[in-house]
Structure 1
């Protein structure tokens, strides 16, 4: 007799679709921000392993979206710390604004945001982190979009390097909405 599926597995025995709790590359780890870390970020508390400039105001805004209790599978689509694997220092964040939802063409789509402390910029970390998350979203058949200020040349370069080739227009606050098509 086979065991009953656990909460992470549907009756087929296959893992439930979603992103891993930690996405890793050779130079980076991208663990989910825990509700405790989010509360600390909002209260101005810091961990010793965080860079002195982390979290930024934008990181704190993203932390406000981390919920203590999220529907099963939704938490993996949240904010992540961007941690250098070599020294374990958290130098930024990257993540999604919630689980995928069908776009107008019914393709599941999610919005990403990312940011680094100034000392960590210019070394490819944002491109590497975004590429690692895109490999996961591609595996799940999820398209990714990003809102970016038209004056943010660094973010525009990261998005271009990662294949965000479609311009969908401008958002309510004047940001460009860029989309990365799913690979064929």
Structure 2
């Protein structure tokens, strides 16, 4: 059975915050994003270009994959968040994963990205996984969200010039 955001009911219960539900994408959601098909439960500005890129990372049944950010108040998909696949062992032997997130312009500036990221990071913390994020130096808002979430270590940059920021597993958990 599929809920209004396009995820199976089992995964829809996954991650909730006071204002958001983070719903794992399913095959139908990914197919609609890739094909450019609109859904009534999507904000008019969703999917964004980054969401289309995230659709290429989707793997069926992967709990580390992309999720819709659903506004509980509006019952609309207002963005996406997710890890770029399951954790992999880094050079230092620590399990690590990359996260990405984004909101439609109308949803920005209300703390929703911070709320969504905090909820997803709690999942990574529970699994003892370190998280990194690649952010363009000109994206001040995303850099603030990352800093607020504890991404304090800079690990260089990507080929595209994005800063690679790292958030360690909190000491009490790792």
Is the TM-score greater than 0.5? yes
Cα distance in 1, alignment partners of residues 31 and 102 from structure 2: 19
Structure 2 distance, partners of 1:109, 1:170, is: 17
Is residue 52 of structure 1 aligned with residue 44 of structure 2?
Answer: yes
In structure 1, the partner of 2:115 is 128
Query: TM-score, normalising length from structure 2?
Result: 0.89
C-alpha RMSD of the superposition: 1.1
| Cα separation, 2, equivalents of 1:65 and 1:176 | 21
Choose 1 or 2 for highest CA Rg: 1
What pairs with 1:1-184 in structure 2 (closer than 5 Å)?
21=11, 22-67=14-59, 69=60, 75-184=62-171
The secondary structure found in structure 2 opposite 1:105 is coil
Gaps of 5+ in 1: 1-19
| Aligned-partner Cα distance in 2 for 1:178–1:157 | 12
Query: What's the secondary structure of 1:77's corresponding residue?
Result: coil
CA distance in 2, matches of 1:77, 1:33: 11
Once residues 131 and 39 of structure 1 are traced to their aligned partners in structure 2, the CA distance between those partners, rounded to angstroms, is: 28
Consecutive aligned runs of 4 or more in structure 1 exceeding 6 Å deviation: none
Aligned residues: 160
In 2, Cα distance between equivalents of 1:27 and 1:160: 21
Distance 1:148 1:76 in 2: 23
TM-score (norm 1): 0.84
Instruction: Render the CA deviation track for 1:16-60: whole Å, top value 9, x for unaligned.
Output: xxxx83211110000001111011011111210100000011101
Question: Unaligned regions of 5+ residues in structure 2, if any?
Answer: 1-9
Distance 2:38 2:30 in 1: 10
